[in-house]
Amino acid sequence: MADKVPPSFDRKNAGSQGFNPGLIVLLVVGGLLLTFLIGNYVLYMYAQKTIAPRKKKPISKKKMKKERLRQGVSAPGE
């Protein structure tokens, strides 16, 4: 009876069956997700270095008052 063991349960052939298909799908999806996240991080770092945030020049109160008077809007308190 010991001679009639199906080949799928034979210990000699256990390692030669290949990977589990679920494991392959998990590895592929995980690899794609990891690649996407790393790519986003690299692009973010590149954008931070190359595209500097634009800073607006501070406008003095005197210039603001002058501009309002030029447009015909009276400044508050006058």
CA distance 26 to 36: 15
Q: How far is CA 55 from the centre of its chain?
A: 26
d(CA 64, CA 75): 9
Contact by Cβ (8 Å): 44, 37: no
Q: What is the pLDDT of residue 3?
A: 62
The reported pLDDT for the residue numbered 19 is 79
Digitized pLDDT (tens) for each residue of the chain, 78 residues in all: 556 655 555 555 555 567 799 999 999 999 999 999 999 999 999 999 898 777 778 888 888 888 888 887 665 665
Model pLDDT, residue 36: 98
Looking at residue 45, its pLDDT comes to 94
Six-digit token string for 67: 């501009």
